[in-house]
Amino acid sequence: MKQVSLLIIALVSTFGLMVNGQAGLPADATPGKCYAKCYIPDQWKTETERVLIKEAGTKKVAVAAKFETRTERVLVKEASTILKVTPAKYETRTERVLVKEASKRIQTYPAKYETRTERIKVSDATNKWVKQKDAMCSSENSDDCMVWCLVEVPAQYKTVTKQVVSEPAKTVEIDIPAEYKTVTKRVLVSPAKTEEIKVEAVYSNVPKRVQVAPATFNTIDIPAEYKTVSKRVLVKQGGMSEYREVVCAKYVTNDLVRQVQRALMAKGYSVGPARDDNILGKDTRAALIKYQKDNALPVGNMNKETMKHLGVPAKYWDK
C-alpha cells in the first residue's frame, strides 16, 4: 500500500499536480476532494464538406435513326378458277329375283297294308265215346273187358296269315313355294359432273425495315460533380490549463489499481507482463495515459472522468 501511494505521488508530481497554495485553484472546490491541473488534449470534431470537383456543362450526343420492322402483305399468286370433274358414283346392291311362281300339285298316296296272323276255329268242341280196356278185367277175351268212356273232344283251330289294309289310299293337294335367287348388280348412285371452283389469291406477309425517325443530336446537361470531404476541426485548444477532480492519494488502494488494470485489459490495453498485479508501475501508467489520449480524456493522473469512462465501479474511487 505504501509503495502504491508513493507511485501515485510521483505521478502527480511529474505532471505538476496536487499543488497547494497555487494561484488559480478551482473556486468551487469541495472540502475533502482532491484536484489537480491536468493536461487537456485538444478537442476536435469531424466536419463534412461538399467540394466541387467538376463544373456543370453540356455535351452533344448523337441519336441514331430509329427503325422498326413492319409486316407488308404481298400478292404471291392471282385468284383463279379450276374445273373439278367428279366421276359418277356406283354402288353394288343385292336383289332377290323371282325365278318360279308358287303352285300346287296333286299327290296320290296308295293304300298301306300290314301282315296280320289270325287263329281260326276249324271245328267246335264235341263229345265222343271211346272204347277202352278195363284194367281190372281178367278175361282173356279183350272184348269182354272193354269199357265205353265218353271223352270230350276240344275245338280245333288253325293259324291263318293275311294282309290287312292299315291305311286306305288317299289324294293330297300340296303347295309348292315360289323360287327366288339373289342377284348382285352395280347401280348408279350419282352421275358424273363438272363444277367450276374459285381459287383465292395467295398472299405472303413480308417483314420490312422502315425508318421511323432520322438521326439527330441531343444536347445533354452534365451536372457538376461534387465529393464529400471529411476534415477534423479544432474545437478547443488543449494544454495544462484546467483543474479536474482526481482520486485522492489515500484512496488509491490495491483494489482500485486492480480494477483499473482489469478495465484497461478488457479494452485491449496491455498493462505489462504481470497483468493485474495491483502495482501502478510504468506499464500500467503508460497504458492509462494512452487510453486517456485515445479517448480525449484529461491526461496524466487518475482523474474521476477517466474512472467513469473505464467503467471502474464508483465504490473504489468515489469517496
Domain limits, the chain:
2-45+236-316, 103-174
Alpha carbon of 87 to those of 128, 197, 198: distances in Å? 117, 16, 20
DSSP letter string over 4-73?
HHHHHHHHHHHTT-S-SS-TT--TTPPTT-EEEEEEEPPEEEEEEEEEEEE--EEEEEEEPPEEEEEEEE
Rounded CA gap, 299 and 240, in Å?
Answer: 9
Question: What is the pTM (predicted TM-score) of this model?
Answer: 0.38
Beta bridge partners of 90: 188
224: amino acid identity, one letter? A
* Per-residue confidence (pLDDT) for residue 137, from 0 to 100: 67
- Amino acid code (one letter) for 203: Y
C-alpha cell, 260? 483499473
What residues contact residue 12 under an 8 Å CB cut-off, 6+ apart? 18, 36, 246, 249, 301
Would you state the pLDDT for residue 241? 65
Q: Do the beta carbons of residue 260 and residue 310 sit within 8 Å?
A: yes
Compute the distance between CA of residue 273 and CA of residue 255 in angstroms, rounded to an integer. Answer: 19
Q: Judge residue 309's burial from the number of C-beta atoms within 10 Å of its C-beta, 0-12 exposed, 13-18 middle, 19 or more buried.
A: middle
Give the pLDDT score at 268: 94
How high is the pLDDT of residue 144?
Answer: 64
Residues of the chain falling short of pLDDT 50: 1-21
At 70 the pLDDT is: 85
Q: What is the pLDDT of residue 310?
A: 95
DSSP secondary structure code for residue 316 in this structure: G
User: Average per-residue pLDDT in the chain?
Assistant: 80
Look at residue 253 in the predicted model and tell me its pLDDT: 92
Quick one: cell of 285? 501508467
CB 256 within 8 A of CB 310: no
pLDDT above 70 as % of the chain: 82
